[in-house]
Structure 1
Amino acid sequence: MSKIIEYYNQFDEWGRLEREPVEFQVNWHYMRKYMPRAGSVLDNGAGPGKYSMELAKAGFRVTLTDLTPRLVDVAKGKAKELHLEEQFEGFHAADARDLHMIEDEQFDSSFMLGPMYHLQEENDRIRAVKELNRVTKKDGLVFVAFMPRIRHILTSLLSPDHWRPHDEMDNILQFSQSGCFHHADEGRFTGAYYFEIEDINPFMEANGFETIELIGSNAGTILNQGNWDYWREKGEEEVRKIIDLIIKRATDPYILGISSHLLYIGRKK
């Protein structure tokens, strides 16, 4: 995990969600659709706390965890800056596979929007999901993010130099079987795991959850900067229509493979 911590120590995850707002807006729409009006929430693997701050603003009591201590400190600073400190019940530097500082069945809803990107071993993925199950109340909701394997294959084919060693077909073919990606360039997104889409629901169901929906968080990533510039020149109303369309079609199973991220929505049995 050291390279992953090193990566997130220098990567601006808060800025990414600001630069790519569609993913956040799609996820937030479906989170609010299913969540109760109030309650306690775990944001597990929260990074700098973008979702945590919105949850706190909405009146939820939030506990935040992340693997990277620096990002936990950033989240504390954001809570203070936004005058939301009273809504937080704890900030913890913690591995999603081991939430020993949290007692059983504490949360009405639990988020895990990052850890599954970096757990390359099946046993580690199971441990993380079982921990999420343990700390969530019976019938509580969970929101878990995944990255689809087919999308990264297509992305690699489109931009091979950006995703080395996926500038060689043999490496892409190997990835298509394993789902594991290690960037050849230092300081880049690495140590990653990408799921086969058809495996996500059965995986979660085998570990104690009932599936509600699996959505595409950002099918808009098929649009490049030039595409977005074109629509922005037509005005913010046109851009809003695009985002509304992506939100509406997020539940369409036929777009899951082109979305850069997926959001699993389930309920603890």
Structure 2
Amino acid sequence: MPTSSESVSKLYGIISQHENSRLAGHPMEREITLRAIRKGLAATSPKRIADVGGGPGKLAFALADEGHKVDLIDLSPNLIQLGQAEQDKRKAAGNKPLLESIAVGNAMDKSALQDESYDAVLLLGPLYHLMEESERAQAVTHALNLAKPQDGLIFVAFISIAAHLRDIAMRNPGKILEFEGFYAKYLTDGRYEKFDSRIGTAVQSFHTRPVDIRSFFARNFSDSLDFIELRSTEGILGGGLDTTLAKSSDELVQAWASLLFDKYSTNEEHLGCADHLLAVLRRR
């Protein structure tokens, strides 16, 4: 079944407050993602960044605070409202950088953003919910068109199949027997399509593996994108293990982020420890 944009938008409308605070509780996902973007940009001057599907803009504002010019779009009006509220708060205070623009937009549609003008394009959420490979390829193609020719970077995040298995092992391990047929298929194709009674709406989510991420880009973009790296955004602390650091000092958070980024986020044997996998690519 193709993706229902309406269902995805409804889902994030329901969980918008959770999504607004989620990265505060997962400091390694936040910090390793930011470090990967910094490494790719190697910025000595402000860069133009398009954050496509960036939710309430937590990473967009963090990058703006570092001096970059960031445009934010997201499918969910509720998340964009939260981003606009932060923008308005900053504008009133007058002491923090603002985003260049904030708007509702779909990663699968050609946006109002200017083609071939961005040093980096972030797709750090849309592919979590695009069920068909053709849809995922379409979203990456639109990001490719936004990136500067020859050196524009694209950062694409995926959810690991192992992440969901860890989650049910901790919350409700009996699910693999209760829904044996569902999980047999899920382990084959990574499609999670179920009604979630906890939040009262249908969920469409796509999960994958490192080898399949590389194959996806090789099949669809071998002539237009160079694959730079695949990185775990939690290092070895997937499954919520980084939440214990959420109330730690910034010094301690950064020490752990440095350790995990340098030692445990790109080695093949550690990628399975991640909840989220970040592919970094460069436009040819």
TM-score by length of 2: 0.83
Q: Which residue of structure 2 lines up, in the alignment, with residue 57 of structure 1? A: 65
Is the CA contact (8 Å cut-off) linking 1:142 and 1:265 kept in structure 2? Answer: yes
Q: C-alpha separation between the residues in 1 aligned to 2:139 and 2:39?
A: 25
Offset at residue 264 of structure 1 (A): 0.8
Letter in 2 for 1:103: Q
1:118 Cα offset (Å): 0.2
Residue deviations 1:231-268 (CA, integer Å, cap 9, x gap): 989x9876665443322211112111120001111101
- Within the candidate set 217, 221, 228, 2:238 is matched to 221
Q: How does 1:203-222 map to 2 (within 5 A)?
A: 203-205=216-218, 206-207=220-221, 208-218=224-234, 219-222=236-239
Shift of 1:4: 1.7
Aligned match for 1:143, one of 155, 164, 172 = 155
Residues 223 and 56 of structure 1: is their aligned pair in 2 closer, same or farther, counting only changes over 3 Å? closer
Which letter maps to 1:217?
T
* Amino acid aligned to 2:9: I
**Equivalences for 1:5-84 in 2 at 5 Å?**
5-11=9-15, 12-35=18-41, 36=43, 37-83=45-91
> Aligned AA for 1:143?
F
Change (3 A) 1:251 1:3: same
Distance 2:177 2:55 in 1: 27
Distance in 1 of aligned mates of 2:233 and 2:146? 25
How many Å separate the matches in 1 of 2:38 and 2:80?
24
| Corresponding residue number in structure 2 for 1:173 | 184
Structure 1 match to 2:172 = 160
- Asked if 2 retains the 8 angstrom alpha-carbon contact of 1:232 and 1:239, the reply is no
Following superposition, the deviation at residue 190 of structure 1 comes to: 2.1
Asked if residue 190 in structure 1 is aligned to residue 203 in structure 2, the reply is yes
Note the 1:123-142 alignment, pairs <5 A.
Answer: 123-138=134-149, 139-142=151-154
Greater alpha carbon shift after TM alignment, 241-250 vs 9-18: 241-250
TM-score (norm 1): 0.87
Out of 261, 271, 274, which is 1:247 matched to? 261
1:202 corresponds to which residue? 215
Is 1:91 the equivalent of 2:102? yes
Contact kept in structure 2, 1:38 and 1:59, CA below 8 Å: yes
Deviations 1:17-69 (A, max 9, x none): 00111100111112111213322110000100001101111111111110001
Structure 2 segments unaligned to the other structure (5+ residues): none
Q: Which amino acid aligns with 1:111?
A: L
Q: CA RMSD in A?
A: 2.8
Q: CA deviation at 1:102?
A: 2.4
Quote the offset at 1:158 in angstroms.
Answer: 4.0
- Match of 1:183, SS? strand
1:80 Cα offset (Å): 2.4
Q: Report which structure shows greater RCO (CA 8 Å, sep ≥6).
A: 2
Could you tell me how far apart the structure 1 residues matched to 2:56 and 2:202 are?
17
Q: Does residue 8 of structure 2 align to residue 4 of structure 1?
A: yes
Following superposition, the deviation at residue 146 of structure 1 comes to: 0.5
The answer to whether the aligner puts 1:260 opposite 2:261 as a matched pair is no
Offset, 1:150: 3.2
- Return 180-189 or 235-244, whichever deviates more: 235-244
- SS of corresponding position for 1:182: strand
Give me the whole-angstrom Cα distance separating, in 1, the residues matched to 2:241 and 2:189: 28
Kept in 1, the 8 Å contact 2:123–2:156? The answer is yes
Q: For 1:267 and 1:209, locate their aligned partners in 2 and report how far apart those are by CA, in whole Å.
A: 5
Q: Could you tell me the percent identity over the aligned residues?
A: 25
Distance in 2 separating the partners of 1:238 and 1:151: 25
Q: Structure 1 residues 154, 73: CA separation in 2 closer, same or farther (over 3 Å shift)?
A: closer
Q: CA 1:210/1:228 → structure 2, altered by over 3 Å: closer, same or farther? A: same
Count of residues paired in the alignment: 265
2-structure distance, mates of 1:65, 1:72: 7
